[in-house]
Amino acid sequence: MLQLRIQGRGGQGAQLAGEILATAYFREGKYVQAYSTYGGARRGTPVSTFIRVDSAPIRERCDIEEPDAIVCFDPSLLSPALLGGARPDTVVLVNSNRAPSSFCDLGDYRFATLDALAVAQKNDLGRIVNSAVLGAFARVIGSPGIEHLANVVRDVSPRKSEENAGATMDGYRLVRILGKPDPEGLEALAGITPGSATEGGAA
Amino acid sequence: MTTLTTGASQAGMPELLPGDVRMLLTGNYAVSYGAMRARPQVVPIYPITPQTPIAEKISDLQLAGEFDVDLMTAESEHSAMSACITASLTGVRVFTATASQGLMLMHEMLHYASGAMTPIVMVNVNRTIGSPWGFWPDQTDSLAQRDTGWIQLYTENGQESLDTVIQAFRIAEQLLVPAMVIHEAFYISHALEPVVVPAQERVDEYLPPFAPQHRLDPEIGESWGNVVNQDMFYRHRKRLGEAMARVPETAIAADTEYEALMGRGYGILERYRMEGAEIAVVAFGAMCGTARVAVDRLREAGVSVGLLKIKLFRPFPIEQVRAAVAGVPKLVVMERNFSPGVGGVLHQELKAALYGMADPPQVHGYLAGVGGVNVSARKIEELVGKAMTEEPVAESVWQR
């Protein structure tokens, strides 16, 4: 069983990202379970999404304490509590413009980073980062298939479906993985200055 | 929550019966689809977290022309239940859903509904009751309605919730007793999972239209709500008790027939891996799923442990529970439900059910997961080990 935890803040689209991942795995014929917990159901408060993927029916009804992967939409949420159940083989994917090695003082995990904000801006999505993060996820975990995932993103985006699918493909291409050389084309992101928030995207 | 569904049947999953569709649904959406298949004519409802997606999806389905229903948005849960009772008394099928504080506000009308013999089916999404304010799973909201004369069925996942909503109409309408189908916040209500939505024709075959002999109808000229004398009240309460007493057999029959038609059945309780068990976990709702995983792991490690899942909680099926635990030396109740001054609610009910039984099992009561605190499979394994090495005490014991 693959067990994932996505940590974000209300309004960042972390919950929808979890639903998109669940849909992609479901359409691949996998059993999935995805749910989110949140306190205030409002922008800015932490939202935790838990996803299980398996080839057999899933019976557990509890939080994931030892995830195989943690996806963190906001580096400020990388708390000891969040990382507590992680193992050395746990993938920790962070939405950040920093290098993966810069997070290594937090523990011995397989860090990966994506400057999802820059990818979103490049794809005319303003501050909507979830579609880019999903692409990076598919790369570091090795599933779901990226073309298939991009198709699901295109299907479920309420608007700017091509831009969101493009961000997913870019996220897949541009994710930086600890211990591996930086991907080609990364320098193009460096020139993108975060601008003001605009509407659109998959959130 | 966004609708993300597909009707595609898939490799790796069981074959579907003709006309069935497999969809990726949250537990709450599964409830809405189950309600739609049962064809209630009236749904009075008031939204509350974490029940709201049920109301939203029913509204979506109505707008899409799939669900022909009079959806009434009331100004409170008290009014919603009042409208349910009135509508039901006219002889139509009625569905509603609520949660937590909303169920509390309905309390007065819950008694009225059972007294009026209105077979309303309501889903309650379990959520901690304030204060303090929270959105976490425990079952204290529905358990506080133990004495209102409603059937209570607790489910373990979205598929079971959908199937149980349909079954509940069958049971309620046969006995003229209202029924509550209950699932927990987040772990079920907001969990997206593959769910089979059965074909309408098969549900229609299972659940014929509701056609009560007595109803409010100017053509018939009957009424309800008059003042009665003590003797009439006595007879009425006794009749409610007689109907309640028939719930276990009626529910078993409803489930057996459902399984024959749909391929899925649950029973009113379930013995999971109880063969030769030295100890059995007793639980209800979502925790049963996690307990199955814990039981499997313990069995692999050579521990003779089983699970008794209580699905029907009201009426508490005393006879069936006694038969299910006969010969098991130890039971350990695990529950989130703390009743101040009493302890665990299921613990209390179970002990009462076993009192007077020949060679009864020892009963441990563990308060695990109170307030929505996570209860992992590992935690359940640990608590089983603890119960095996200690003598039970009368009180429920807090565990963290």
- B3 found inside a domain: no
Quick one: average pLDDT of B146-156? 98
Asked if residue B74 and residue B218 are part of one domain, the reply reads yes
Quick one: average pLDDT of B142-169? 98
Q: What pLDDT is recorded for position A36?
A: 87
Q: How far does B98 lie from chain A, in Å, by closest CA?
A: 18
Asked if residue B172 and residue B109 are part of one domain, the reply reads yes
Asked if residue B242 and residue B292 are part of one domain, the reply reads no
Q: Is the pLDDT of residue A93 over 90?
A: yes
Structural domains of chain A, ranges and CATH numbers in brackets: 2-190 (3.40.920.10)
- B69 found inside a domain: yes
Question: Of B260, B292, B327, which one is at a domain's C-terminal end?
Answer: B260
Contacting residues of B for A63, CB less than 8 Å apart: 374, 376
Contacting residues of B for A23, CB less than 8 Å apart: 4, 6, 24
Quick one: average pLDDT of A5-30? 92
- B65: domain range? 21-260
Contacting residues of B for A31, CB less than 8 Å apart: 13, 193-194
Which chain A residue has its CA at the smallest distance from B183's CA?
A: A61
Quick one: average pLDDT of B291-320? 98
Q: Is the pLDDT of residue A174 over 70?
A: yes
Q: Residues of A near B (CB-CB distance < 8 A)?
A: 15-16, 19-20, 22-23, 26-27, 29-39, 41, 55, 58-63, 65, 156, 158
Q: What pLDDT, in 10s, does the model give residues A118-170?
A: 999 999 999 899 999 999 999 999 999 999 999 999 999 989 999 999 999 99
pLDDT range class, residue B4, cuts 50, 70, 90: very low
Q: Is the pLDDT of residue A34 over 80?
A: yes
Report the percentage of chain B scoring pLDDT > 90.
95
Instruction: Spell out the residues 6+ positions from residue A125 whose beta carbon is closer than 8 angstroms to its own.
Output: A131, A132, A160, A163, A164, A167, A198, A200, A201
Rounded Cα distance between B83 and B139, Å, is 25
Quick one: average pLDDT of B300-318? 98
**CATH number of the domain within which B95 lies:** 3.40.50.970
Q: What pLDDT is recorded for position A39?
A: 64
- Select from A61, A153, A157 the residue whose CB has the most chain B CBs within 10 Å, as the one to mutate to test that interface: A61
Q: What pLDDT is recorded for position A189?
A: 84
Asked if residue B279 and residue B241 are part of one domain, the reply reads no
Give the bridge partners for A119, in sequence order. Answer: none
B141's enclosing H/E stretch is helix B140-143
Classify B36 in phi/psi space as left (phi over 0), alpha (psi -120 to 50) or beta: alpha
- B11 found inside a domain: no
Asked if residue B26 and residue B123 are part of one domain, the reply reads yes
Q: Is the pLDDT of residue B134 over 60?
A: yes
- Select from A27, A52, A62, A155 the residue whose CB has the most chain B CBs within 10 Å, as the one to mutate to test that interface: A62
Query: Among positive and negative, which fits the CA dihedral B155, B156, B157, B160?
Result: negative
Instruction: Spell out the residues 6+ positions from residue A198 whose beta carbon is closer than 8 angstroms to its own.
Output: A125, A126, A127
Q: What pLDDT is recorded for position A156?
A: 93
Number of domains in chain B: 2
Question: Which residue in the block uniquely carries the two structure tokens 């069925």?
Answer: B153
Q: What pLDDT, in 10s, does the model give residues B182-234?
A: 999 999 999 999 999 999 999 999 999 999 999 999 999 999 988 999 999 99
Q: What pLDDT, in 10s, does the model give residues B264-275?
A: 999 999 999 999
**CATH number of the domain within which B278 lies:** 3.40.50.920
Q: What pLDDT is recorded for position A187?
A: 84
Asked if residue B286 and residue B248 are part of one domain, the reply reads no
Q: What pLDDT, in 10s, does the model give residues B336-385?
A: 999 999 999 999 999 999 999 999 999 999 999 999 999 999 999 999 99
CB contacts < 8 A, A to B, total 88
Helix residue ranges per DSSP H, A34-145: 80-83, 116-122, 130-141
Of A23, A29, A39, the CB nearest to B13: A29
Asked if residue B381 and residue B244 are part of one domain, the reply reads no
Question: Of B234, B260, B286, which one is at a domain's C-terminal end?
Answer: B260
Q: How far does B196 lie from chain A, in Å, by closest CA?
A: 13
Cβ-defined contact of B289 to A34 (cutoff 8 Å): no
Question: Which residue in the block uniquely carries the two structure tokens 């504080």?
Answer: B101
Tokens of A74: 């906001």
Asked if residue B210 and residue B172 are part of one domain, the reply reads yes
Asked if residue B65 and residue B184 are part of one domain, the reply reads yes
Of A33, A41, A55, the CB nearest to B49: A41
pLDDT range class, residue B2, cuts 50, 70, 90: very low
Contacting residues of B for A20, CB less than 8 Å apart: 4
Asked if residue B301 and residue B183 are part of one domain, the reply reads no
Question: Of B206, B230, B260, which one is at a domain's C-terminal end?
Answer: B260
Contacting residues of B for A32, CB less than 8 Å apart: 24, 192-194
